[in-house]
Chain A
């Protein structure tokens, strides 16, 4: 029973990833693709959390934090590139 609920939740998260993947492929502008990749990252966090509950293990909890950090960092880097054309600026302009 419990495993069935967990598998159902993982299935729904997978559907959400597939819908976001449609937006990544189809998306008219670059900003749509960036936001869709961001939401795919956070859905994967949910899948890993459900997997660690199903396998009854503490070994995946660091992975959850790590995917959160990396999803945030990649979204920031892509957005900075879309905004100014450069990811890491050379010097401050004051």
Chain B
């Protein structure tokens, strides 16, 4: 069956960028505003699901060669390493800190170590969700 979704594919090419930008914004706004790693990962996964729906499994795997199993594992490793890194400074496990840095383009910026933990949560959520969805969709009937 030859079935071309020209409207859907053209709309997807624009919308995936908007949804990805929104998810990165949600990920980094999570320190002071609603948001964070979990919901940012879910929005990124929804952008990828939109790509998978508009195109197909083989095309998206060609343009985005990411092993989502390994992405989830790397996220857990990042989250654990930020916890153990606090032991090097002789404080308790998972102690978070923040500092103010004068960056050249952004001015006075607050850099928190909780962002790296959030990044681990983000990678884990994206990897787990996409592993579930792709393994269901490539299941033989």
Number of A-B contacts (CB under 8 A): 56
Whether A83 and B22, one on each chain, are in contact in the complex, defined by CB atoms closer than 8 angstroms, is no
Whether A88 and B52, one on each chain, are in contact in the complex, defined by CB atoms closer than 8 angstroms, is yes
Residue of B nearest to A90 (CB): B57
Q: How many chain-B residues does the 8 Å CB contact rule pick out? A: 28
Using A73-B49, A93-B2 as known contacts, say yes or no to A88 and B57 having CB atoms under 8 A apart. yes
Size bracket of the A interface: 20 to 34
Q: Distance in Å from the Cβ of B89 to the closest Cβ of chain A?
A: 34
Interface digits, A50-79 against B, CB 8 Å rule (1 contact, 0 not)? 000000001100110110011011001100
Whether B1 and A90, one on each chain, are in contact in the complex, defined by CB atoms closer than 8 angstroms, is no
Q: Which residues of A contact B107 (CB under 8 A)?
A: none
Residue of B nearest to A88 (CB): B137
A-B contacts, 22 listed (Cβ < 8 Å): A62-B26, A62-B35, A65-B22, A66-B39, A69-B19, A72-B15, A73-B50, A76-B50, A76-B53, A76-B54, A77-B49, A77-B53, A80-B53, A83-B3, A84-B1, A87-B53, A88-B57, A89-B56, A90-B58, A90-B138, A92-B55, A92-B59
